[in-house]
A and B are shown apart, each in its own frame.
Chain A
Amino acid sequence: METALPHDAKDDGVASEIVVAVDNVAQEFGSRTIFKDVSFNIHAGEVFVVLGGSGCGKSTLLKQMIGLLPPTRGRISVYGHDVVNETDAVRSQIGVMFQSGALFGSMNLLENIMLSLAVFTDLPLAARAEIARGKLAMVGLADAALRLPAEISGGMAKRAAIARALVLDPPILFLDEPSAGLDPITSAGLDKLILDLRDTLGATFVVVTHELQSILAISDRCIMLDREAQGMIALGQPKDLKAQSTEPVVRAFFNRETM
């Protein structure tokens, strides 16, 4: 399979429902172009990884996909809803885990997770607590339910943030650098958690990361952005990219070589 930027084949031969469609998107800050002409589709039930070196615009692309940053050009849709103009429809379909976890410091983990249940459902308190406890149990934090974010480790905070993103069972989850700053064992645990959750919930995961081991472990397909190229330089399955790509940056990335 040709893996170096198959532009006209942005689905990369995968045939299932398209949940996120990114169409010719560009981002500029003033006169600085971060990336341009980025197009790809994300399909239901896959773990899709956005990867690339530092400063290539991975997190910017993620912000665009979750509707926090309108793209300078192009269109992104989630389940057919435009992320810029139909924000509410998009937000009800997605859960987001931020890089730092972004848990609310004044609330314990259970309250952090119960917040959206209180806002978006009419469930009684006991039911909200029960569901939130279930979500914490799914990420292995059942015993830490009443602890404050300041009292838990970085890995636990990320797990709790995933539980919070999961609380309304959204069909798509966006995770920003889930394994950044974690030790390899915790990081591998988080990778397993992502795969388990995908299998249990059937949700689609969009993960931004540059951790090679994580990418190889979890990713069904990935897109690689590059700062020099100001755009995407590869789209496909990571093992194919690793083995077959002719693009020097892609080869260097997957084989841990210097350029």
Chain B
Amino acid sequence: MSVAAVDMRVEDGRVIFSGPLEVKSIAAVWQQAMVAAKRGPGQALNIDISECPHVDTAGATLLLAMERLHESEVNLTGADAKASALIEQMRHIIPAEMTEKQVVAAQREADKAQAGPDLMSMLETRIAFFGETVVALIALPAKMRFLRGSDFAHIADNAGLKAAPLVLMLGFLIGMILAFQSAIPMRQFGADLYVANLVAISLFRELGPLLVSVILAGRTGSAFAAELGTMKVNEEVAALTTMGIDPETMLVLPRIAAAVAVMPGLVILMDVSGLIGMGVVLMILGFPPNAIIAQILSTTGPADFLLGLSKGLVFAAAVAMIGCRAGLTAGNGPRAVGEAATSAVVGGIVATVLLDGLFAVLTYRLGL
């Protein structure tokens, strides 16, 4: 739709508008009109709109803004019946401008509503959620009917089987990169065969569970948060609560169980694919497979492998719990779900690294 232009001119002390005073045209004259309205305080302001074929609500707002700005007498002439009815109606409903103080107060209230909770209440939420989950776990035998096998299978499928190709690919690539990067400096000392020992130990004890946990946080933790966050926003969680079914038992425990159940498989997949990636690099460097396998077996034992697996189980429980917590404590509105997913990923990764540090101290003290 083409927009007809509106002009403003001042003749004999009269401000004359010509053209339609409409929302899409008045931008051209708004500033000029405000300046004209401020001029000559104490004198009457005469506005003529007889050359305006149409005045819409925005046009009426312009005229009323001029009227208010001028502060003394304003005479409006040339308005047809329709325009004057509209202007008259708008004059009654448009309130006086808010005072600075009111604006500041309202803004503060809005900011408060938009700002998240403070550190203390965040900590409180997390501890409370952990406690509620533990209580739900203890009370589980009496509430087995709340659990649905198909839910568990569906979640385990999403978190485990569907993550397998990604774990396989990343494991293989990381094995290759580790082997290649460490082979270069170690070759200077003629120790490049020991790359096999280095990569195997770091994969079994550290990188295997750590990387799978990061993948779990990114893929599954965020999915839990988004899913439960949406349920919270749609009041499905409230519906469960009012039906007497506590969300911890029905929604959280199956998710934690599924994540813990798929973790060993994923860690093994990561370890094996990493070793294969490393093997490929070492074979390219000229080492026979037998020598590589002998090196791996000479330095790593079941203890390293099992340590990695048990770390993985703890990481998985933490990541799943944090994902569920982020979802169930999501706020309201469309942003809440996004924020919950972010919080799940960040929280999951931070918790994994903290727990990994704890494991490092423990295994050192226990001599494992």
**Interface residue ranges, A against B (CB under 8 Å):** 89, 92-93, 105-106, 108, 117, 120-124, 127, 130-131, 133-135, 137-138, 142-143, 145-151, 166-169, 200-202
Interface contact A127-B89, CB-CB below 8 Å = no
Q: In the complex, identify which listed stretch (B215-223, B291-299, B332-340) lies at the interface while the others stay far away.
A: B332-340
Which A residues lie within 8 Å of B143 (CB)? none
**Interface residue ranges, B against A (CB under 8 Å):** 1, 22-24, 26-28, 30-31, 56-58, 60-62, 64-65, 82, 85-86, 89-90, 93-95, 98, 103, 106-107, 109-110, 113-114, 332-335
Which A residues lie within 8 Å of B62 (CB)? 127
Interface contact B31-A134, CB-CB below 8 Å = no
Which B residues lie within 8 Å of A133 (CB)? 94-95
Given A123-B26, A200-B57, A201-B56, 5 more pairs with CB closer than 8 A? A127-B26, A131-B61, A134-B57, A135-B57, A137-B93
In the docked arrangement, what's the CA distance between A133 and B93, Å?
Answer: 10
In the docked arrangement, what's the CA distance between A117 and B23, Å?
Answer: 8
Contact of B113 among A121, A130, A135, A150 (CB under 8 A): A150
Which B residues lie within 8 Å of A134 (CB)? 57-58, 60-61, 64, 90, 93-94
Interface contact A105-B31, CB-CB below 8 Å = no
Q: Can you give 14 contacting A-B residue pairs, CB < 8 Å?
A: A92-B1, A106-B335, A108-B110, A117-B23, A121-B23, A127-B61, A131-B58, A134-B58, A137-B94, A150-B333, A151-B113, A166-B57, A169-B57, A201-B57
In the docked arrangement, what's the CA distance between A131 and B106, Å?
Answer: 19
Which residue on chain B has the smallest CB distance to residue A149? Answer: B333
Interface contact B27-A122, CB-CB below 8 Å = yes
Which A residues lie within 8 Å of B93 (CB)? 134, 137-138, 142
The 8 A-B pairs with the shortest beta carbon distances in the complex, nearest first, are A122-B27, A105-B333, A146-B106, A169-B56, A137-B93, A123-B27, A134-B61, A142-B95
Contact of A138 among B30, B56, B57 (CB under 8 A): B57
Give the A-B contact count at a CB cut-off of 8 A. Answer: 94
Interface contact A137-B95, CB-CB below 8 Å = yes
Contact of A146 among B86, B89, B90, B107 (CB under 8 A): B107
In the docked arrangement, what's the CA distance between A89 and B114, Å?
Answer: 37
Which residue on chain A has the smallest CB distance to residue B33? Answer: A127
Which A residues lie within 8 Å of B89 (CB)? 200
A130-B61 contact given A168-B23, A169-B56, CB 8 Å threshold? yes
Which residue on chain A has the smallest CB distance to residue B54? Answer: A169
In the docked arrangement, what's the CA distance between A206 and B22, Å?
Answer: 23
Which B residues lie within 8 Å of A169 (CB)? 22-23, 56-58
How far is the CB of B40 from the nearest CB of chain A, in Å? Answer: 21
Which A residues lie within 8 Å of B26 (CB)? 121, 123, 127
Which B residues lie within 8 Å of A147 (CB)? 106, 109-110
Which residue on chain A has the smallest CB distance to residue B98? Answer: A145
Which B residues lie within 8 Å of A92 (CB)? 1
In the docked arrangement, what's the CA distance between A123 and B90, Å?
Answer: 20
Contact of A93 among B1, B23, B60 (CB under 8 A): B1
**Max chain A CB contacts within 10 Å: which of B23, B28, B61, B110?**
B23
How far is the CB of B334 from the nearest CB of chain A, in Å? Answer: 5
Which A residues lie within 8 Å of B106 (CB)? 145-147
Which A residues lie within 8 Å of B82 (CB)? 202
Interface contact B30-A123, CB-CB below 8 Å = yes
